[in-house]
Amino acid sequence: MQLLWNGLIDAGGLLVNRDALVLNAAWRSLWISATAVACAALLGIALGSLLARRKIFARSLLVLLLRAGMGLPTVLIGLVGFSLLSRRGPLGGLELLYTPTAIILGEFCLAVPIIATWTHSAIRQLDPRVAETALTLGAGKLRRWRTYLSETRLSILLALLTAFARCISELGIAIILGGNIPYRSQTLTTAIATETARGQFARGVAMSLILLAIALLVTLTVAWLSRVKEPS
Amino acid sequence: MKPLIEIRNLEVRKNGTQICAVAQLDVQPGERMAVIGPNGSGKTTLLRVMGSLEQQYTGQCRLQVAKRQCVYVHQAPYLLRGSVLFNATYGLAAHQISRHQRQEAAHRWLARLGIDHLAHRPCHGLSGGEKRRLALVRALAIGPQLLLLDEPFADLDPDGIQTVCEALEEACSTTIVVASPAPLPDRLGARLFSLG
């Protein structure tokens, strides 16, 4: 307990003094996860809406696979990504391994099933009168799709926040695909693991506090949005 | 003159139970018709078949009108998220009407139905009667050839019924089919078609 208390006091000092390593890892974690979720949103929302509104081949199987993908272990995504991006792998020529781009690709794979599944569920649960109203008022395919997204926008926003929370707090992808290189591909989670193992407990705690603050912010936003959603 | 709606031997079944049956029905262009009958007689189903929202039926239902010119208004209308004006202009936007023209048309119909003062209010605070009027504005603003109204006078007070009747009279080129459990106000001048 004393160790944790001392760690907290030292961590406060590091944060006040703007420790370069801590801030660098925090900033990288933020933009990597935000980029991964933004890219995953494009595919996930399109895929979720398509599966919800169109009768396509093997739809049930695809939905099942996406739901299973929500619980995918991050180390598994990391391992598959490593086999693809390593020098001997089919994408080795791109030389992406141990770069932030590799982590973005891995987190993209982590976020797509979450966003697609939530979008699919939200649109499937929409009141059937939404589609009928849009159709009968003459809305074309694109306008109807925009209407579905508008009617489910809070659910989709919650999906994006959940995906972001999962991406920023994962370790497996960041350590296997990013390589944990300080000032290059080190993220908060990998830095916490490394610094704690090196005996730099205060740094680990400082980074954990930042991660905790981000997680709390996301959780509070999700809770607030859920409250906004309830009355409607 | 060729009927706008031509129905022959129509039958709709759900889980093996017949929920709507019409041997013959013709509706002429510009005509007002009221489908009356007790609860469960298939009035809503008949309107949904006419509006191409119900596809599972046997027999014939021929419409001499483009799908985009046929508007169905639900018994409990669904208002989209957003303001009253957004809802009023939704159909006009879908019909590629310019922003200026759709605002003008929406305000005209909102005023006609007595809810223009609510134009910038969000929809979720509206009363049942106001919601019904807005759904009617949304449909009438398009100027459809065929208007299918499912119990449009429910939730309306006598003044509201009169306002809606007057608004429907104004849409003189539109064929209107109304489903109602009881005969409609005389001033609507609707031919009665009884189900059940």
- CATH number for the domain spanning A47: value is 1.10.3720.10
Structure-token match 């794979």, residue found: A109
Q: What is the pTM (predicted TM-score) of this model?
A: 0.87
Residues of A in contact with B143 (CB under 8 A): none
Nearest residue on chain B to A142, judged by CA atoms? Answer: B94
Residues of B in contact with A231 (CB under 8 A): 124
Q: Per the structure, how many domains does chain A have?
A: 1
pLDDT at A228: 63
pLDDT at B132: 93
pLDDT > 90? residue B24? yes
Q: Judge whether A225 and A157 are in contact, CB under 8 Å.
A: yes
> Does the distance separating the beta carbons of A140 and B81 come in below 8 Å?
no
3-state secondary structure chain A: CHHHHHHHHHHHHHHHCCCHHHHHHHHHHHHHHHHHHHHHHHHHHHHHHHHHHCCCCCHHHHHHHHHHHCCCCHHHHHHHHHHHHCCCCCCHHHCCCCCHHHHHHHHHHHHHHHHHHHHHHHHHCCCHHHHHHHHHCCCCHHHHHHHHHHHCHHHHHHHHHHHHHHHHCCCHHHHHHHCCCCCCCCCHHHHHHHHHHCCCHHHHHHHHHHHHHHHHHHHHHHHHHHHHHCCC
d(CA A195, CA A205): 9
Average pLDDT of the segment spanning B100-114: 95
Structure-token match 């709390």, residue found: A216
What ipTM does the predicted assembly reach? 0.92
How close is the nearest chain A Cα to the Cα of B94, in Å? 5
Residues of chain A below pLDDT 70:
228-232
- Domain around B136: 5-194
pLDDT at B183: 67
- Residue range A193-214, pLDDT digits in tens: 999 899 888 888 888 889 999 9
More confident residue, B42 or A222: B42
Q: What percent of chain B has pLDDT over 70?
A: 99
Q: Which of B80, B81, B142 sits opposite A138 (nearest CB)?
A: B142
- Residue range B137-176, pLDDT digits in tens: 999 999 999 999 999 988 888 888 889 888 988 887 778 8
Which residues is B25 bridged to in the sheet? B7
pLDDT at A232: 39
Radius of gyration of chain A (CA): 21
- Domain around A219: 2-229
Q: Per the structure, how many domains does chain B have?
A: 1
Q: Which amino acid does the sequence have at A8?
A: L
Q: Which of A137, A140, A232 sits opposite B138 (nearest CB)?
A: A137
Phi, psi of B29 (to 5 degrees): -60, 135
pLDDT at B135: 96
pLDDT at A223: 82
Q: How many residues does chain B have?
A: 196
> Does the distance separating the beta carbons of B90 and A137 come in below 8 Å?
yes
The H-assigned helical ranges of B67-148 are 84-94, 99-112, 128-140
CB proximity A132 to B under 8 Å: yes
- Residue range B50-96, pLDDT digits in tens: 999 999 999 999 999 998 899 999 999 999 999 999 999 999 999 99
Give the closest residue to A160 by CA, choosing from A229, A212, A111.
A111
> Does the distance separating the beta carbons of A136 and B70 come in below 8 Å?
yes
How close is the nearest chain B Cα to the Cα of A129, in Å? 6
Nearest residue on chain A to B148, judged by CA atoms? Answer: A136
pLDDT at A87: 92
- CATH number for the domain spanning B61: value is 3.40.50.300
